Structure 1
């Protein structure tokens, strides 16, 4: 303590350096808004190209199911072909039914077995199927369907697709990205009807009439919806035949004229030509918006990959009328982590007001609150050492840690003021004696709290581990720094006031 007073400038600079180092370490630490869910259950999602048959999807699903059932760590496998399971988790929502989609819900023997199976099979089956993308999904609290989402909004469809293609190329070149696609889906092959206007007008046919007739003759014309409890049943009007899918079937289909009351084949009033249409066109806030979605390798953090590709994306020249904004994990961080910053500010203001009521001095209150930044270095270093990402639970731990650390300042300042005013100590004597005599209670309370959260760190839990790391390391380093820095700051803060009191007493 005597050496600290001999080198006051070095001690103050050390405190400032620890705060800056904490910010730097926090900046380079991996960020993850929401942790994975520790559960003996996971999902496997299979996506085939749009237009694939149900039989093709079923073949991939059966192969995966047989592969997993041979593993002793797997208890049961539930398969859903062409649809997804009913909602069994608050966040994990079911997919819309599609012939090219399948889902497996896998139950394992333990939480650890879930992680082992996911780590093993996500690598083993990465290139097992040439025509299918298999997504091994551990349940999580994240809201967004994909960890990385880049949204391009504009009016021109062709320009949107070209820009999305350039961004997709950037993502595919980034290490750690496994599957890149857009929410416009794949283009679908269609049949376009080119009306023979003269013939159609002579017979009294219009585009609308022809369209309705083809719907009745193929997949059916929707008339109404009947509800059986919570399940809707669609009522359709259709010809009592199998669904027509070939070009010859459509050409030979008869349509009836409302004016002549006669039926003629479609080939007499229209020519059929092959064409292409978008699988899906998505609108956000009334604008056409194409979202480039990317999945990342297991145990890779989306924030790290996003920070690598973002400068390259923002460097792209955008055509007029296009704008880019971000979704996925980045949007979740902005929407759900930002309120925690407001909570932190409110907590600091409340602590300030409570200290002002107790000490009735702005200078003393500010001195006590300077202990708060001292915990940042230990908290960020704890996250870095333990390897946990910085997310919601770590931020909650940081808010609580600042409240705990303030207590050290209150214990020290209260006793130093008592020594100076009631026992006649000089300012320097009060600063040094208070640190020496209050070191034990400050150390014991901080050590007890730090040791108490060690089981959280040792558990390896992505939910509680970051919180324990922040509190444990933050308390230890804040304890050391506050015992060194608080006496020096106390002396520097009150030196002029103390000199004025001594001068008045001499007079």
Structure 2
């Protein structure tokens, strides 16, 4: 019940506010907070759901504060299923690992979800294992007696309205207060709805007889049943998702955890008409890669063709393009030394390094070509002179780009991109000054 949730959150909020490291706490009950940034996904409405947004005095205090709150929750609120999430500034998912089960029958989906949940729980490095349909709720379902209802002049809709008035209230109109619309709800007094036993005292008005009829005359019996409070659909198919996250204490990444769980989950036999689909971080990565790499081959082809037309030579073009992979050496070294992850921004930085490398190669090859054709240098002298004379412009262009990336090193989101460009361009620039002349000499068989 939402009132029980409210009482728990009031106690938890006071305990958290008493901690020295906490500067501010914002809590919502029954739903998530309103969207306050693009990458934040609000939670749906649930009576048993609450969310607390915590702000600490400094970044370094986040981890010890989380450990303290975890102990409080385990000791004082063992009935709660809790999950901690740091606000991300990039694309976010509800969980890092998400196995979506699609099919027609909710009962079969829940059985399959139970098997997937067992696989997730068996892996010690998977935490906060849950499913997004939540637990089934118990309901009392009055079975309407059609024959008796027709005799007494009471329809099933009349019975439903009487139950609504007694339980939740029946909306009968709207009151306008300035620019606000306030619902008018008809509901029985609280003294008449203080328990399940009070249902047998409900009176239903019969327009035929012009009098009230007891609910016992209209209902055969009241059945106790379980129902799904929420059924989600994806592409018009019922979809139940089993969620999990990597254990932050072990330091395992979502990719490594997904690799451990994938084969075990896919080994579960699915009935005909049911399918498994992976979401979470895996799906986000696939979408991002598709968005980036779908036009990538065409872009590379266009750049290569332009380079061929520029020099009117396949050999000179190959001498330039074969230096592009040299950037990977610096990128690998830089990410390892700086301890930065190979994130999506680092991937974009590698793509931008292609253009920077081509520019450096063009500057060097163009100078060799000019010295040989215009200044009438021999091939060997042209290669040597160009390699020496182009050191300053090539290195200066690289240094200005590297210096421009330094401010981004302090940013968590852009650090991988800055490290990739700085180390990748730095290593590749130095290597290009040696490799391009060597390749040029090999292709044209220039000998000392």
TM-score normalised by the shorter chain: which range applies?
0.7 to 0.9
2:110 and 2:431 map into 1 onto residues whose CA distance is: 55
Which residue in 2 is equivalent to 1:317? 269
Which residue in 2 is equivalent to 1:153? 102
Aligned counterpart in structure 1 of residue 429 of structure 2, from 479, 485, 497? 479
Deviation at 1:226, TM superposition (A): 6.0
Which residue in 1 is equivalent to 2:141? 192
What's the TM-score once normalised by structure 1's chain length?
A: 0.77
Which residue in 2 is equivalent to 1:283? 233
Contact 1:218/1:243, CA 8 A, preserved across alignment = no
2:244 and 2:399 map into 1 onto residues whose CA distance is: 44
Deviation at 1:256, TM superposition (A): 2.4
Which residue in 2 is equivalent to 1:31? none
Which residue in 1 is equivalent to 2:415? 465
Aligned counterpart in structure 2 of residue 492 of structure 1, from 434, 437, 442? 442
Q: 3-state SS of the aligned residue for 1:185?
A: coil
- Larger mean CA deviation between 222-231 and 248-257 belongs to 222-231
Distance 1:413 1:470, change over 3 A: same
Deviation at 1:318, TM superposition (A): 1.4
Contact 2:16/2:69, CA 8 A, preserved across alignment = no
2:133 and 2:254 map into 1 onto residues whose CA distance is: 22
Contact 2:408/2:418, CA 8 A, preserved across alignment = yes
1:103 and 1:231 map into 2 onto residues whose CA distance is: 27
1:369 and 1:236 map into 2 onto residues whose CA distance is: 74
Deviation at 1:409, TM superposition (A): 0.9
Whether 1:101 aligns to 2:49 is yes
Deviation at 1:97, TM superposition (A): 4.2
- Larger mean CA deviation between 86-95 and 245-254 belongs to 86-95
Contact 2:402/2:422, CA 8 A, preserved across alignment = yes
Whether 1:336 aligns to 2:288 is yes
Which residue in 2 is equivalent to 1:80? 28
Whether 1:202 aligns to 2:154 is no
Aligned counterpart in structure 2 of residue 92 of structure 1, from 34, 40, 43? 40
> Where do residues 239-278 of structure 1 align in structure 2 (5 Å cutoff)?
239-241=188-190, 244=193, 246-270=195-219, 271-278=221-228
Contact 2:82/2:128, CA 8 A, preserved across alignment = no
Distance 1:335 1:229, change over 3 A: farther
2:178 and 2:365 map into 1 onto residues whose CA distance is: 68
Aligned counterpart in structure 1 of residue 258 of structure 2, from 306, 311, 332? 306
1:423 and 1:116 map into 2 onto residues whose CA distance is: 66
1:377 and 1:232 map into 2 onto residues whose CA distance is: 65
Q: What does the per-residue CA deviation read over 1:141-197, in whole Å, with 9 as the maximum and x for residues that have no partner? A: 324333322211111222211111111222223343221211211110111223345
> Where do residues 405-416 of structure 1 align in structure 2 (5 Å cutoff)?
405-416=357-368
1:404 and 1:243 map into 2 onto residues whose CA distance is: 78
Deviation at 1:487, TM superposition (A): 2.7
Distance 1:87 1:114, change over 3 A: farther
Distance 1:126 1:399, change over 3 A: farther
Distance 1:314 1:377, change over 3 A: farther
- Larger mean CA deviation between 419-428 and 475-484 belongs to 419-428
Contact 2:192/2:198, CA 8 A, preserved across alignment = no
Distance 1:238 1:63, change over 3 A: closer
- Larger mean CA deviation between 404-413 and 257-266 belongs to 257-266
Q: 3-state SS of the aligned residue for 1:151?
A: strand
Which residue in 2 is equivalent to 1:293? 243
- Larger mean CA deviation between 425-434 and 79-88 belongs to 425-434
Deviation at 1:241, TM superposition (A): 4.7
Q: What does the per-residue CA deviation read over 1:280-313, in whole Å, with 9 as the maximum and x for residues that have no partner? A: 1112222111111223444653333223322222
Distance 1:224 1:486, change over 3 A: farther
Contact 1:146/1:295, CA 8 A, preserved across alignment = yes
2:408 and 2:241 map into 1 onto residues whose CA distance is: 38
Whether 1:326 aligns to 2:278 is yes
Distance 1:221 1:300, change over 3 A: farther
Contact 1:118/1:136, CA 8 A, preserved across alignment = no
Whether 1:65 aligns to 2:13 is yes
Q: What does the per-residue CA deviation read over 1:255-283, in whole Å, with 9 as the maximum and x for residues that have no partner? A: 12333333232223321232211121112
**Unaligned regions of 5+ residues in structure 2, if any?**
none
Deviation at 1:322, TM superposition (A): 0.5
Deviation at 1:379, TM superposition (A): 1.9
Q: 3-state SS of the aligned residue for 2:74?
A: coil
Deviation at 1:249, TM superposition (A): 0.9
Contact 2:9/2:50, CA 8 A, preserved across alignment = yes
**Unaligned regions of 5+ residues in structure 1, if any?**
1-51, 500-507
| Structure with more relative contact order (C-alpha pairs < 8 Å, separation 6 or more) | 1
User: Aligned residues, how many?
Assistant: 442
2:47 and 2:294 map into 1 onto residues whose CA distance is: 46
Which residue in 2 is equivalent to 1:127? 74
Distance 1:147 1:491, change over 3 A: same
Deviation at 1:368, TM superposition (A): 1.4
1:70 and 1:490 map into 2 onto residues whose CA distance is: 70
Deviation at 1:453, TM superposition (A): 2.8
- Larger mean CA deviation between 390-399 and 341-350 belongs to 341-350
Which residue in 2 is equivalent to 1:3? none
Q: 3-state SS of the aligned residue for 2:358?
A: helix
Whether 1:177 aligns to 2:108 is no
1:412 and 1:60 map into 2 onto residues whose CA distance is: 70
